[in-house]
A and B are shown apart, each in its own frame.
Chain A
Amino acid sequence: MLAKRIIPCLDVKDGRVVKGVNFIGLRDAGDPVQCAARYDQEGADELTFLDITASHEKRGIILEVVRRTAEQAFMPLTVGGGVRKVEDVRTLLKAGADKVSINTAAVADPDFVAAAARAFGAQCIVVAVDARNRAASLELTADGGGVSGRPAWADTYPELLVDPADSKGWEIYTHGGRRPTGIDAVKWARRMEELGCGEILLTSMDRDGTKAGYDLDLTCAVAEAVGIPVIASGGVGSPEHMLTGLTEGKADAVLAASIFHYGEYTITEVKRYLAERGVCVRE
């Protein structure tokens, strides 16, 4: 039986590992290649690097990190962050990434996802969806402040947008969760599947950094809406959260950062916990 996947995620900035709490306040925590090797030994099922390097000149550093990681960790590696062009996908795959995750650029130009999937295959194109509960989202944008992430094509595809009169559901955000797009998360995930994406990395922006558990309603809504695998992300604070993400949330995989990275739980411990409760994992 196919095992549910446990995926540690390393946020990497300028070649160093950091982890933000709600994407603000970064803590430096080491060399990504060494972390990758440790997760490989611990039996992580995959590894994800999220490159949050802001400066354009330093963007090449992640390639070297990917190259060095691929030399010593013989496990699947996903890299995301700042992927804008088909050429960016090609460069990352060539450096040793197995999958590339696309977020902001997919919203700006959904055809980019289609082009990348055509060029390299659906199996290596992940679309990262950052979603906020509509009620929370409305509160955030109530004062009209902040920059809108609403894409130029939005009016052409009204069927993908949230209903302004209804506060149910989830809205997707871009630029690390700062810009509301007006797009409905579930409809968007389905559209990404149609365009050839092979997997959805679904992050609850409401839960990210809170350790309050994954947003199970969101995860389940997206997992049931698409036929491609869904990775739950955002809010995990304990093995129990992973259990509910995989069972009630119906996720195919769970992503976690700080709880592994600061040694609160090892991957082995989490897998044992899940196996004892009947979840199929690779031990």
Chain B
Amino acid sequence: MIAVVDYGVGNLRSVSKALEKVGAEVCVTSDPGEISAADAVVLPGVGAFAHCMDNLRSAGLENSVREAAASRRPFLGICVGMQILFEESDEFGRVEGLGILPGRVRRFEPKDHALKVPHMGWNEIFVRRRAPHLAGIDEAARVYFVHSYYVETNDASIVATTTPYCVDFVSSAWRGNIFATQFHPEKSQATGLKILANFAALVKGSGAAC
């Protein structure tokens, strides 16, 4: 069972339907017990970084997410669900993230006026480290992005893919059980479903139902 963390942000239906499409058993939950019992955890997120952090805390789920990320269970962060895994964001001043991965979140500041923010649409991912989640994904495959902020890190060992837009930014990160994507695999048609299928394939055993 894969738990999709429901903390009042974002379109959880798309994430859960896409995981079901690739054959995973999914539950959308805001229950810490169910998150602890799940074989794998997905942390979605859209909108503002601070809003997501606030909601995660007020839903009483910060510890559940920390525990899942620190476990051996496969963990997937999507979009702002990726960003809040990092140390801090400069969105609306400085906002602290979960600090599970090293790096910070910055706003795109294009020098070329033709580059629009949000970075919205289909862009390419270039593999730096081939995480198991990227098995069978072509170099320069296109996935769907919609974001105004991006992750910057000095730790090259966690960079799974990069994407050029204003800068060469971290479009997915990988460390141990944690995989996190700035793009939306659930909106990236066949390429996205393949990444989700790879993630679902990492789930071992059936675990407790939730």
- A residues near B (Cβ < 8 Å) are 1-5, 40, 43, 45, 67, 70-71, 74-76, 93-98, 119-124, 198-199, 224, 226-230, 250, 252-253, 282
Interface status of B48 (Cβ within 8 A of chain A):
yes
Size of the B side of the interface (Cβ < 8 Å), in residues, is 37
Whether A75 touches B144, Cβ cut-off 8 Å, given contacts A3-B121, A120-B46, A228-B117, is yes
Q: Which residues of B contact A43 (CB under 8 A)?
A: 189
A76 B146 Cβ-Cβ under 8 A: yes
Q: State in angstroms the CA–CA spacing of A45 and B184 once bound together.
A: 13
B188 A122 Cβ-Cβ under 8 A: no
Q: Which residue of A lies closest to B20 (CB)?
A: A71
Q: Which residues of B contact A282 (CB under 8 A)?
A: 122, 142
B142 A3 Cβ-Cβ under 8 A: yes
Residues of chain B from 96 to 150 with CB closer than 8 A to chain A in the complex = 110, 113-124, 142, 144, 146-148
- B residues near A (Cβ < 8 Å) are 11, 13-14, 17-18, 21, 46-48, 51, 110, 113-124, 142, 144, 146-148, 164-165, 184, 186-189, 192-193
Q: Which residues of A contact B164 (CB under 8 A)?
A: 1
* Whole-angstrom distance between the Cβ of B144 and the nearest chain A Cβ: 6
B116 A229 Cβ-Cβ under 8 A: yes
B114 A229 Cβ-Cβ under 8 A: no
Q: Which residues of B contact A228 (CB under 8 A)?
A: 116-118
* Whole-angstrom distance between the Cβ of B203 and the nearest chain A Cβ: 20
Q: Which residues of A contact B184 (CB under 8 A)?
A: 76
Q: Which residues of A contact B114 (CB under 8 A)?
A: 250
Q: State in angstroms the CA–CA spacing of A230 and B164 once bound together.
A: 20
The 6 tightest CB contacts between A and B, nearest first, are: A121-B47, A282-B122, A229-B116, A123-B146, A3-B122, A282-B142
Q: Which residue of A lies closest to B186 (CB)?
A: A74
Q: Specify which of A1, A71, A123, A227 is in contact with B113 (CB 8 Å cutoff).
A: A227
Q: Which residues of B contact A253 (CB under 8 A)?
A: 121
* Whole-angstrom distance between the Cβ of B20 and the nearest chain A Cβ: 9
B144 A76 Cβ-Cβ under 8 A: yes
Q: Which residues of B contact A74 (CB under 8 A)?
A: 14, 17-18, 21, 186-189, 192-193
Q: Specify which of B115, B121, B147 is in contact with A45 (CB 8 Å cutoff).
A: B121
Q: Specify which of A40, A45, A96, A198 is in contact with B118 (CB 8 Å cutoff).
A: A198
Q: Specify which of B21, B46, B123 is in contact with A3 (CB 8 Å cutoff).
A: B123
